[in-house]
Amino acid sequence: MRQSPSREPSSSHAPLALRGGAESEESAAASRASGVKRSCDHVQEAESILGAMDWPSDTESDASYDEATGHGKVVLDADHALNALRPEIRKFVFEKFREWEESARFTVPPEFRLPSPKRHRRSSKKPRASEDLEASEVSDDYLIIPQNDGYFRIACPFSVSDPGAYKSCMVQYDLKTIEDVIRHVQYHHRIPPYCPRCNAIFSRASVRDDHLKTRTCTVRSPKVIPGLSWNQVDRITDFDDARAGDRARWMRIWEICFPSEQPSSPLYLSSGVGRLVSLCRGFWAAHGFEYIMQVAERLGAEKVESWVEEGAIDALTNSALQDLLENIFQEWDMNEFRRA
Ligand SMILES: [Zn+2]
Ligand SMILES: [Zn+2]
């Protein structure tokens, strides 16, 4: 697999735009060649339904969106041989996470953070101790050693509003900054193109328009399609003030999304299962790649080099993070069930 300039162990992704719903030829070829695929492939249909392909081309690049939120990460094809290692990895890293979690110190991020410039990419073989360091802590000359293991992640307002319906926001997207939240809600929570006659949802507006022209569908009673209107999407950007603190900025987003509701939990994923998700992401940034390599070397020593070269190890690392998060949710749900 061609080495993309943006690979890193915990958040590698194909450096491509999702716009138009089509992979770039280069990345599509790379994916085919390596037997790995972007995680969005299996949710391609859902993405389409969300109307992702209608996003105007003059908005922020999808590449920066992908980088910030983990969209488009490379994951293993379902039939890739490395999947055989996943049950072993899942067990191993879950135990490691439980050990690590006991002493991990996470904090709420500083209220006022400098906008994070694009981080310098690292070699996929050298994970940084903490991915959570932000621009405010890095000067040109030296690095200030953080007093904690990471920052709590920020909640998607939709998952605060309805945690059950929007669990995937926590599992699939790593929202570290308000900018991440803004991009996430604008991209993933817009009302998709739909037919006002029959309420059908379409992958893109042009397909909906073609459907409308036929006027052959059955008229049904109007249905509320959940999501943000274009007006709301625009207001989120218009009303954002980067000089305000995170809390004030998040509340502005909330008020635009849910004008008649109050949030039932704080903006940071700092308690309950959200806290575990924050910790898990910090743990993964610090140790995920290392543990994956340990298991891979133990179980398939002679093939590890080729797996690294073809990018399959990165894909396995991303798939294993999803497995770990699923484990965390399962255990949490089980404990909730016992408590009830
Ligand atoms: Zn969300
Ligand atoms: Zn229709």
Question: Which of left, alpha, beta for 318 (phi over 0: left; psi -120 to 50: alpha)?
Answer: alpha
Question: Closest-lying ligand to the alpha carbon of 207?
Answer: 2
Question: What spacing in Å lies between the alpha carbon of 161 and ligand 1's midpoint?
Answer: 10
Question: What spacing in Å lies between the alpha carbon of 216 and ligand 1's midpoint?
Answer: 34
Q: Kindly give the interhelix angle for 86-103 and 289-300, rounded to the nearest 10 degrees.
A: 140
**pTM to 2 decimals?**
0.69
Residue 143's pLDDT is 59
Give me the residues near ligand 2 (ion), CB cutoff below 5 Å: 195, 197-198, 200, 217
Q: Which of 2, 73, 4, 63 is nearest to 32 (CA)?
A: 2
Give pLDDT tens digits along the chain (340 positions): 333 333 333 333 322 222 233 333 334 444 444 445 444 333 333 333 333 333 333 333 333 444 444 555 788 888 888 888 899 999 999 999 999 999 899 999 887 776 555 544 444 444 444 444 444 444 455 555 555 789 999 999 999 999 889 999 998 899 999 999 999 999 999 998 899 999 999 988 899 999 999 989 999 999 888 899 999 999 999 999 999 999 999 999 999 999 999 999 999 999 999 999 999 999 999 999 999 888 888 877 677 788 787 788 888 888 999 999 999 999 988 888 787 7
**Contact residues for 236 (Cβ-Cβ < 8 A; gap 6+):** 182, 185, 186, 228, 252, 253, 256, 257
**Contact residues for 270 (Cβ-Cβ < 8 A; gap 6+):** 106, 108, 152, 278
From the CB of residue 209, how many other CB atoms can be counted at a distance below 10 Å? 12
Question: Closest-lying ligand to the alpha carbon of 194?
Answer: 2
Q: How many whole angstroms from its chain centre is CA 106?
A: 20
Question: What spacing in Å lies between the alpha carbon of 52 and ligand 2's midpoint?
Answer: 20
Question: What spacing in Å lies between the alpha carbon of 255 and ligand 1's midpoint?
Answer: 15
